[in-house]
Amino acid sequence: MDILVTGGAGYIGSHAVIELHKAGFNPVIVDNFSNSKEEALRRVNELCSKEFTFYRTDVRDAVALSEVFAKHQFAAAIHFAGLKAVGESCEQPLNYYQNNVAGTMVLLELMAQHAVHNFIFSSSATVYGDPDSVPINEAAATRTTNPYGASKLMVEDISRDLCLAPNNAFKVCLLRYFNPIGAHHSGRIGEDPNGIPNNLLPYVSQVAVGKLKRLQVFGDDYDTVDGTGVRDYIHVVDLAKGHVRALQYILEKPADCYTFNLGTGNGYSVLEVVKAFEQASGKTVPYDIALRRAGDIAACFADASLAKAELNWQAEYSIERMVSDAWRWQSKNPNGYE
Ligand code: NAD
Ligand code: UFG
């Protein structure tokens, strides 16, 4: 069964391709390499002993993407392609709306034309903004504070409207990811951010490997266990498996729009993550306490029970496994895919 995987060369997409293949699907990858490298796909092929079909195509290019649709009879599309840096989205809002919203529109229109009605979308816990309470369930209010988050919420709204239309044939699964970290256990694929990382785990990994000097811990005066920010970190392989379950789920379900949190349900503070990383790597991660980062919230973790009940999916890997896999990837590939 051919499954279109946009953004399949990226961090989460590359892990999802492997899990889709393991579950018997045939992922067909589209990526423009705006935030990834060909080497990632080469390694995915190597790990699966298979040459996946790949198109170097921008999802905003309707002509090129329609040629991909003409060559395959897709059972579904899993849409990872998009831009994801919150700070950059404030500097380049048009670029974010163009890639994340207009790009998705091109994809959905082609899906409608080619009668491909199963759509899985990479949404984010960012749509909850600063939540009223934790753990956060799918019925919680949504609000956003930056163009990246707004672009995710817009696609959610478009998807819901699509499913409300008379005679709708679409089955949409909106997956709200919490904080994906870690890497494939082989250490061959993982997260390879451009420049100085924004996110905690890649930053900590680069300090441990000696590329960066010290971690700045953004605030130690939050109302949390030790004053530092608390997040729901989820192993990227668990997250990838969640997509396989979501796909199997919508293939069997009636046309509608379904929404799931993909998280572990556990929150860890910045200092707890640093400690777990130091234990796994045997390296010291020197840090300074810095001011709070603008836009950050104290605590964010999922109520993951809906995905468990409906998708029969729950995250399996511990924080120790997440950080040890992150370290294996970083220490074996200090310069990422270069
Ligand atoms: P990533 O940047 O590693 O992967 C995205 C991939 O999409 C890249 O390979 C990039 O080259 C490609 N891409 C971007 N724009 C494209 C376009 N117009 N046409 C074709 N390809 C394009 O990011 P990721 O961490 O793997 O995230 C995947 C998705 O999950 C994104 O939509 C992101 O917003 C969402 N998400 C990520 C996180 C996270 O923390 N990583 C959290 C929540 C949601
Ligand atoms: N942090 C530091 N120092 C750093 C980086 C991060 O102390 O150098 C702290 C943050 O203040 C926060 C925690 O580590 O308390 C996690 O920060 P990340 O930047 O790794 O992740 P966020 O929760 O801020 O945001 C991420 C993505 C968003 C997404 C959100 C929910 O970047 O796009 O998870 O999925 F919306």
What pLDDT does 214 receive?
A: 98
Residue 267: CA count within 13 A, CB half-sphere: 18
Q: What is the pLDDT of residue 309?
A: 98
Contact 236, 180 (CB under 8 A): yes
Q: Are 134 and 267 in contact (CB under 8 A)?
A: yes
Burial (0-12, 13-18, 19+ Cβ within 10 Å), 61: middle
Which of the listed residues 61, 84, 260 should we mutate to test ligand 1's pocket, taking the one with most ligand atoms within 8 A of CB?
A: 84
Please give the Cα distance from 237 to 14 (Å, whole number).
10
Tell me the C-alpha distance between 215 and 298, whole Å. 18
DSSP notation for 190-226: ----SSS--SHHHHHHHHHTTSSS-EEEE-S-SSSSS
- Taking the centre of ligand 1 as the mean of its atom positions, its distance from the CA of residue 224, in whole angstroms, is 30
Pocket flag, ligand 2, residue 205 (CB < 6 Å): no
Using 70 as the pLDDT threshold, list the residues of the chain that sit under it: none
Provide the pLDDT for residue 197. Answer: 96
Minimum CA distance residue for ligand 2 atom 18: 199
Q: What is the pLDDT of residue 72?
A: 98
Q: So what's the pLDDT on residue 192?
A: 96
Distance (Å, whole) CA 239 – CA 307: 11
DSSP 217-277: EE-S-SSSSSSS-EE-EEEHHHHHHHHHHHHHHHHHSPSEEEEEEES-S--EEHHHHHHHH
The pLDDT value given to residue 70: 98
Distance (angstroms) between ligand 2 centre and the Cα of 158 equals 27
State if residue 222 touches ligand 2 by the CB under 6 angstroms criterion.
Answer: no
* pLDDT for res 148: 97
What does the CA dihedral 107, 108, 113, 119 come to, rounded to 10 degrees?
A: 100
Q: For residue 300, which ligand has an atom nearest its CA?
A: 2
**17 CA to centre of ligand 1 in angstroms:** 14
pTM of this prediction?
0.98
Q: Whose CA is nearest to atom 34 of ligand 2?
A: 179
* Predicted pLDDT of residue 152: 98
How crowded is residue 205: how many other Cβ atoms within 10 Å of its Cβ? Answer: 28
Residue 296: the pLDDT is 93
Burial class (CB in 10 A: 0-12, 13-18, 19+), 132: exposed
- Answer yes or no: is the C-beta of 270 below 6 A from any ligand 2 atom: yes
35, 92, 238, best to mutate for ligand 1 pocket (most atoms within 8 Å of CB): 35
Reduced to 3 states (helix: H, G, I; strand: E, B; else coil), residue 49 is coil
Q: What is the pLDDT of residue 322?
A: 98
Rounded Cα–Cα distance for residues 212 and 288 (Å): 13
